[in-house]
Structure 1
Amino acid sequence: MEKHSILNDIDLNSKEEIFSDLLKNKNVRIERIVSTGQTSPKDFWYDQDENEFVLLLEGEAILEFKEEDKVKEVKLNKNDYIDIKAHVKHRVKYTDTNNPTIWLAVFY
């Protein structure tokens, strides 16, 4: 059994968003995401088959949720979390460009 730190080995100079699986099996996937200003492409919406619990460990972000013709924004700060149910259309509108935004995402 090995111990790990979720905040270790983060490339703060990456121009790309970094996705790292921390645990994955047939029932659950736990992923660390590091964003440095990245957002979802214009007019792109996630529509996932699984639920996603998201905890913001560092930084800040704005998520958008689409329900019919309405778009709702939710701002997340460090230590905020949200549980996104399957097939709820959502996207990342903003992540901090000055400091990394570190997400813990649990797909179930």
Structure 2
Amino acid sequence: MSKSRKVETLSGFERLTVEKRPRLPPETRTALVRRGNEFLNAGKVEDAKRIFLTIGYTDGLIRIGNHHYKRSEHIEAFRMYWQAGARREIDNMAGRFADVLRQWIAEDSTND
């Protein structure tokens, strides 16, 4: 496990916490945003994701979340929205997840 992560255990659950991102000079951050955008435009989503997560570029994380959502990779889309703090997208997906769970519970109770 990397040095920047701590593991907390609570009643059988593990929670990974990441320390705050280091401050980058504006020029460096801008260059990384541009590089991440180049990767994303070239279809190198994982490379762009790595950069955007590292620097905390919320717009890029939302765009990557949208990419995963369109590919029906909903858990990864939710994770990107969560990292970006995209409240509207998080609430929308949480509602959809709740609908799926309700449907599963209803199906399970009718099969008993």
> Greater strand share, 1 or 2?
1
Do they superpose with TM above 0.5? no
TM-score (norm 1): 0.26
TM-score (norm 2): 0.25
Structure with larger RCO (C-alpha < 8 A, sep 6+)? 1
Q: Name the larger-Rg structure.
A: 2
